[in-house]
């Protein structure tokens, strides 16, 4: 049963805040819900589905947020697979709407990671009592360290260089310079990235995403209903999700979840790689982007370094990605999946002003990564279109 073009994103909103010391996560989320419903031309009474991770929330997670907004939805999803969660929620909401479980589902996220001084990525984690964590935590595995080990292996196998990874950060910063809401907007060079301190070798400070506050929301409904609403619908063509882990000690660590979720999304959407006009690729670290592009099949394993070099990822070039400036420069409140979907929708609606991709943008790919590539992670892929 294909979901292709049956469901649409009818409204999106990215909260403009990057630092909100006097707001709660729930206030940011509620403001985002209002923004996305305004964008769609709908009201809170239309909402009968709710999705958010519940990660970082107190005891009852999503129910607490339903309490705050006085929602009694017919469908709830608090899939919590890290930063990619909101990408997965979008697909789950689509399936739920298609199955008649709800009509209008809001996907929402908010966080005050920066103002509450959370050490996103460099905390050495006591881990949990769950068995997999027990064999990692005693050795000081950090999120950045787990990604760094992927970068190190990629460099060893394919000769990928730190300069090639730096090119990704440079392009993201260029895009951020065209996004008034982005946290860091001053252009940087490859030399700047190379000169920044090493956090976990071979990754430098500027290979790492920033830490900000922020939030956002999406309104998902049937394509039929979306066509009667305020904004041009953004149709879901296909979706996929996957996880990768230690595979009982037998994993090839350069094979990441994107290989599986991407293949599923392309198959289900019935489109080819050459049809993708722009992509939003989770950029927790520069290596995340390079590894994801290879695993999604945009280039062969080992060709990622050349693929991202020479400004090829710029908004006006061959393969535009992360036109908002990404997690590397615009915002990263801990989980950024929702911003990937928001920017892709805006690009497909042609609303991005100076950073609008130069080619006629008709099909976009979104890929979220949650967790850490070098230990355990999830991948969620969406393929979206404006027609």
Partner 1 sequence: MPESKEKKYLKPLPHLDEENRPWWEALKRHELYVQKCRDCGDMRYYPRAQCPSCLSPRTEWVRAHGRGKVYTFTATYQNQSPGFRESLPYIMAYIELDEGLKMLTNLVDCRPEDVKIGMPVEVVYEDVTPEVTLAKFRPAR
- Binding footprint of partner 1 on the chain (CB under 8 A): 119, 122-127, 129, 131-132, 134-142, 144-145, 148-150, 152-153, 156, 197-203, 246, 248-251, 253, 374-375
Closer Cβ to partner 1, 145 or 327, answer by number: 145
DSSP 328: I
Closer Cβ to partner 1, 54 or 202, answer by number: 202
**90-109 per-residue burial string, b: 16 or more CB within 10 A, e: under 16:** bbbbbbbbbeebbbbbbbbb
Quote the least distance from Cβ 157 to partner 1, whole Å: 9
Distance CA 242, CA 259 (A): 9
Quote the least distance from Cβ 99 to partner 1, whole Å: 31
Closer Cβ to partner 1, 315 or 377, answer by number: 377
Quote the least distance from Cβ 251 to partner 1, whole Å: 7
Secondary structure, 3-state, 35-72 = HHHHHHCCCHHHCCEEECCCCCCCCCCHHHHHHHCCCC
Closer Cβ to partner 1, 26 or 253, answer by number: 253
Which residue has tokens 């608090």?
A: 78
Closer Cβ to partner 1, 59 or 140, answer by number: 140
Q: Decide: 339 and 17 in contact? Cβ < 8 Å.
A: no
Which residue has tokens 């890929």?
A: 367
Closer Cβ to partner 1, 136 or 192, answer by number: 136
Q: Decide: 237 and 269 in contact? Cβ < 8 Å.
A: yes
Alpha-carbon torsion angle 60, 283, 368, 75, nearest 10 = 30
Quote the least distance from Cβ 266 to partner 1, whole Å: 29
Quote the least distance from Cβ 119 to partner 1, whole Å: 5
């Amino acid at each position: 049963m294909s979901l292709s073009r049956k469901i649409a994103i009818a409204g999106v909103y990215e909260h403009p805040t990057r630092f909100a010391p006097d707001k709660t996560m729930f206030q940011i989320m509620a403001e985002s819900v209002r923004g996305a419903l305004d964008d769609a031309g709908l009201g809170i009474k239309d909402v009968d589905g709710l999705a958010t991770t519940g990660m970082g929330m107190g005891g009852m997670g999503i129910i607490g947020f339903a309490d705050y907004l006085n929602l009694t939805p017919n469908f709830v999803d608090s899939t919590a697979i890290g930063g990619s969660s909101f990408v997965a929620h979008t697909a789950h909401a689509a399936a739920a709407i298609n199955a008649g479980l709800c009509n209008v589902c809001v996907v929402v996220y908010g966080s005050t990671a920066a103002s509450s001084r959370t050490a996103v990525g460099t905390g050495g984690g006591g881990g949990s009592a769950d068995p997999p964590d027990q064999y990692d935590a005693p050795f000081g595995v950090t999120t950045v360290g787990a990604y760094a080990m992927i970068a190190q292996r990629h460099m060893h196998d394919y000769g990928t260089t730190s300069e090639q990874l730096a090119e990704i950060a440079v392009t993201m910063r260029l895009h951020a310079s065209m996004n008034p809401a982005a946290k860091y907007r001053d252009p940087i060079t490859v030399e700047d990235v190379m000169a920044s301190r090493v956090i976990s070798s071979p990754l430098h400070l500027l290979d790492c995403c920033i830490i900000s506050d922020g939030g956002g929301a999406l309104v998902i409904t049937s394509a039929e209903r979306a066509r009667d609403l305020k904004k041009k619908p953004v149709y879901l063509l296909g979706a996929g999700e996957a996880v990768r882990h230690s595979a009982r000690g037998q994993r090839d660590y350069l094979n990441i979840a994107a290989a599986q979720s991407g293949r599923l999304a392309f198959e289900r959407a019935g489109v080819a790689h050459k049809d993708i006009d722009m992509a939003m690729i989770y950029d927790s670290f520069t290596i995340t982007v390079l590894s994801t592009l290879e695993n999604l099949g945009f280039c062969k394993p080992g060709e990622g370094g050349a693929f991202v070099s020479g400004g090829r990822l710029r908004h006006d070039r061959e393969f535009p990605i992360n036109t908002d400036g990404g997690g590397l420069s615009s915002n990263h409140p801990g989980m950024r999946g929702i911003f990937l979907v928001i920017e892709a929708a805006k690009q497909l609606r042609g609303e991005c002003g100076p950073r609008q991709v130069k080619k006629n943008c008709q099909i976009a790919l979104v890929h979220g990564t949650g967790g850490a590539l070098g230990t355990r992670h999830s991948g969620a892929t969406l393929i979206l279109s404006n027609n």
